[in-house]
Structure 1
Amino acid sequence: MRRIFPGLFLISLFCAADSVAQETVALTLDQAVDYAIKNSAAARNARIDVEIQQAKNREVTGRTLPQINAQGKYQNYLDPMKTVLPGDFVGAPGTSVIIPFSVKHNANLGVTGSQLLFNGSLFVALQARDALMEMARNNAVMKEEDVRVQVIKAYRALVIAQRQFEVLKSSIAVVRKGNADLQATYQAGLVEKLEVDRNSVQLNNLESDSINTANGIEVASQLLKYNMGMEVNTPIVLVDSNLDGPVADADKLLLRDLPYENRTQFNVLKSALRLQEYDLKRYRFEGLPTLTLTGNAGYNYSAAQFDALVRARYLTSSFYLFQLDIPIFDGWQRRSRVKQAKLNVEKAANDLENARIGIDFQTKSAKIALTAALQTLESRRRNEQLARSVYDLTNKKYAAGVGSNQDVILAQGDWLNAQNNYFIALKSLLDAETDLQKSLGLLSK
């Protein structure tokens, strides 16, 4: 059993040497959350989605601006199309001549511009830009909320695991000292070997538990860094190790109640409803005429020889036109799209109403869970204090020679079990508090 801790010591030295080149990062809870918002993949992708939506909106705006294109074209008739004409056209009556429609080499340069003057669907798309941006931003906020919840829970879980490990180390130190005293007493022939073995068994169990807890701390640390988007080999130190503040504020949270608009999920569904209404309006406006202005100007060159093309006399051309497209009958396609859009609006309204009910349910459930967690934590705290009192009294009786070592071992085991139950209840309370904060919309910024 004595070889266990030297082995852990060597592992710790190896890990320390491996990370010596990396600077340890000290993190408060707020710093961990801020780091995650900036670096986690989910939060970064959510911000990218906002930028993508901005680009899409600029694309829609671009459709309202003039569209200008330049074109250059060269055409070589390897065998021009021909026609047969009477010779009278060329002063040879009674004969026929073959005349090509075009000379061999042709080129033209031109510029075409168009301006959309009115289009019902585009008009609605312009109106929907703000709603689309609001939707993208709300989705980003919702992603960030999820990141905050994950980081807060992981941070506090790591703090609790570290506190558990400190308790185990203290208990091991006490048991190891008692074991050394028992060994000396046994060597003097004052106690039986059975008591020494019992104490050794307890020490072995505690050391085994400490190894498992140390492994749990490492896993919890990796989980926290993963949720933060931090390199997992970066050494970190948690600064906010005192959890009394969140525990003291938990009961105050039960009195909070905020409007639905504080919930990001509700705002996302509101934006979705607005977008469905714009979609319905867009299909209705498809029945309106579309008016477009188009203009063109260009140069045309023709020559029988290619080298003469650049010296050939050019011909100019230009025009502009107004084009009015009036939809008359499309086989009731637009009517079907309008009906689908109406049903989608109805579905979105149902989702929004269901979100109200769901938020009420989530908030009520979270408050019930937090209330139960507060009661459980208080019960576990009293039980831990009582178990510690029993252990202290049993230890004093044993030191005075009126108790047995077996009673001390049992009392210490009960105390450690009570401490473990307290830490479990503490984590449940902190998780319930975080869930209620999210349900109330307190984690959105």
Structure 2
Amino acid sequence: MCKKTGTTIGRLVVLAAVFNIFSPWAVAQTTDTLTLSQCVEIALKNNQNIKNKRLDELINQTKIDETRADLYPQLKAKGSYQYYPSVPKSLVSSAILGGPPSEFTYSEFQVPQNIHFAADFSWQVYNPAILAALKISKISKVMSATATKEKLEAVVYDVSATFLNIQINELQADLTRSNIANLKKNVALTTQLFNQGLALRSDADNLNVSIVNLETVLSNQLNGLNQLYYLLKVYMGLPPSFVLCIEKYVQDDKIYIPALETDSSAYAKRSSYLSLKQTGDLLQLQRQSIKAGFLPTVNLIGSFGYSGLNTEFNFLKSYNSKWYPINLIQLNLEIPIFDGYKKRSQLLRNKFELDQNQNTLNYLRNTLQMEQMNAVSTYEKYVKDVEYQIKNLSLANKLYNQKQLEYRNSTASLNDIIAVENTLKSAQANYLNALIKLKLAELDLRKINGQLIKN
């Protein structure tokens, strides 16, 4: 985690501006800090889940190639060697050799050695199921690409939200350090007033207790920051031991970012909607594949080879060195007639699945449109909240400085100081809470409008 510098109370109003940390073209101000865009870039390259999604795309491409291979002719070579130390005999009727039909004799119908080698050829001349399977493989690849895009958006969102939380929590820790520093100044001032007989020893003790309490708060904040850094490293695909430092919250010339323009049809670009729509396309292709089962198939096969025989063992040599060709050309036609209504049941199930998909698609469209309207209203609400909290924080800071001056002049009591300190801390907490909600609302709005990543 980066080293932090103290932030004075006088800078609170300046820091109260809300900054556009989502610009993908921001540049780190120092070589040892990373901007949000740089963190996102690292995450998109290193995140293991994204790598797996991209591998899924490659896997689906191999499935397409595998299915397409069935459209091409298949050719293979084969050979066999067979030798009988004892040639099998068969019982045949003597009538074959001119004897009485009631008698039988044993005869050999083959020789001990048989050698055969051939080249086999096969080709699916017409098979609609293969074409349907190829289309299904292609839509599966498209669905895999959509899943990758959805994972990219999720990683960008997680990195951005965690990055923002770190920045706001670092600002909160800086404010706590500033409050501790101010309390220590008040301890010194109270001690001076005590020496002048204008304050009690218990006043300084009360302030020291407040310092210890704030130091405990700071310790918890720093521990939370460490955990956020670990989480950010995981999203970025980095080991927890990696030394990571992000840029601090930087002033912008705008109090807030104007609400993004919204498109009522933006839901159609959402990955979740596209994925469900592509599932419907897949079901349609599966329906075509089922219907293809009603069509005939034509298959051409061929075998071209030679066979050699021998009456004795002589490896790779035929009788009288003669080899006899064995060739075959065969055309197979297969026509489905009756399958027990199997495909009819498959088509009926497919229809129900398509109806389910359409119902879910309609529900998702309404849900996404509702999310978009809610995101816009939520963003506008938090813009107003931040503007109000900036004014409130400025007023609390002004009141604190005024009471500090009165305390130095002995016209305000320690209780007054403690009260305004509590008011200031409450104003700081309310401001930071409103600020983080605003930035997350902006992030949600970008997500809903499909603007987290470039296409």
Identify whether the pair has TM-score above 0.5, normalized to the shorter chain. Answer: yes
1:149 aligns to what?
157
How far the C-alpha of 1:58 sits from its partner, in A, is 0.8
CA distance in 2, matches of 1:99, 1:422: 106
How far the C-alpha of 1:34 sits from its partner, in A, is 1.4
- Is 1:342 aligned to residue 342 of structure 2? no
Which residue of the other structure, out of 250, 254, 263, is the alignment partner of 2:270? 263
SS of 2:239's partner is coil
* TM-score computed with the length of structure 1 as normaliser: 0.88
1:316 aligns to what?
325
SS of 1:26's partner is coil
1:441 aligns to what?
450
1:280 aligns to what?
287
Q: Which amino acid aligns with 2:108?
A: P
Tell me which moved more, 305-314 or 156-165: 305-314
How far the C-alpha of 1:287 sits from its partner, in A, is 0.3
CA distance 1:255–1:140, change in 2 (3 Å): closer
1:176 aligns to what?
184
How far the C-alpha of 1:89 sits from its partner, in A, is 8.0
2:171 aligns to what?
163
1:64 aligns to what?
71
How far the C-alpha of 1:384 sits from its partner, in A, is 1.4
2:215 aligns to what?
207
Q: Is the 8 A contact 1:258 1:440 kept in 2?
A: no
- Is 1:234 aligned to residue 242 of structure 2? yes
1:121 aligns to what?
129
CA distance 1:111–1:255, change in 2 (3 Å): closer
Tell me which moved more, 328-337 or 75-84: 75-84
Q: What are the Cα deviations for residues 272-326 of structure 1, in whole angstroms up to 9, with x where unaligned?
A: 1111111111111110000111111122232233335434432221111111100
2:28 aligns to what?
none
SS of 1:238's partner is coil
CA distance in 2, matches of 1:185, 1:55: 82
Deviant stretches of 4+, over 6 Å: 86-96
1:26 aligns to what?
33
> Which one has a larger percent helix, Structure 1 or Structure 2?
1
Question: Alignment identity in percent?
Answer: 27
SS of 1:241's partner is coil
Q: Is the 8 A contact 1:254 1:367 kept in 2?
A: no
CA distance in 1, matches of 2:255, 2:158: 18
1:359 aligns to what?
368
What 5-or-longer segments of structure 1 have no aligned partner? 1-23
CA distance in 2, matches of 1:34, 1:267: 24
Q: What are the Cα deviations for residues 176-198 of structure 1, in whole angstroms up to 9, with x where unaligned?
A: 12213333443454421111111
How far the C-alpha of 1:131 sits from its partner, in A, is 2.4
CA distance in 2, matches of 1:185, 1:403: 12
CA distance in 2, matches of 1:163, 1:234: 22
1:77 aligns to what?
84
SS of 2:114's partner is strand
1:402 aligns to what?
411
2:53 aligns to what?
46
Q: Which amino acid aligns with 2:395?
A: L
CA distance in 1, matches of 2:315, 2:190: 116
CA distance 1:315–1:427, change in 2 (3 Å): same
- Is 1:420 aligned to residue 429 of structure 2? yes
* TM-score computed with the length of structure 2 as normaliser: 0.86
How far the C-alpha of 1:360 sits from its partner, in A, is 0.7
- Is 1:376 aligned to residue 371 of structure 2? no
2:14 aligns to what?
none
Q: What are the Cα deviations for residues 88-121 of structure 1, in whole angstroms up to 9, with x where unaligned?
A: 9889999975322222232311221111111111
CA distance 1:240–1:406, change in 2 (3 Å): closer
2:18 aligns to what?
none
What 5-or-longer segments of structure 2 have no aligned partner? 1-30
Q: What are the Cα deviations for residues 332-382 of structure 1, in whole angstroms up to 9, with x where unaligned?
A: 111111111122222222222222111111112222322222222222222
Q: Is the 8 A contact 1:303 1:309 kept in 2?
A: no
- Is 1:104 aligned to residue 109 of structure 2? no
How far the C-alpha of 1:425 sits from its partner, in A, is 1.2
SS of 2:81's partner is strand
Which residue of the other structure, out of 246, 251, 259, is the alignment partner of 1:252? 259
CA distance in 1, matches of 2:248, 2:275: 33
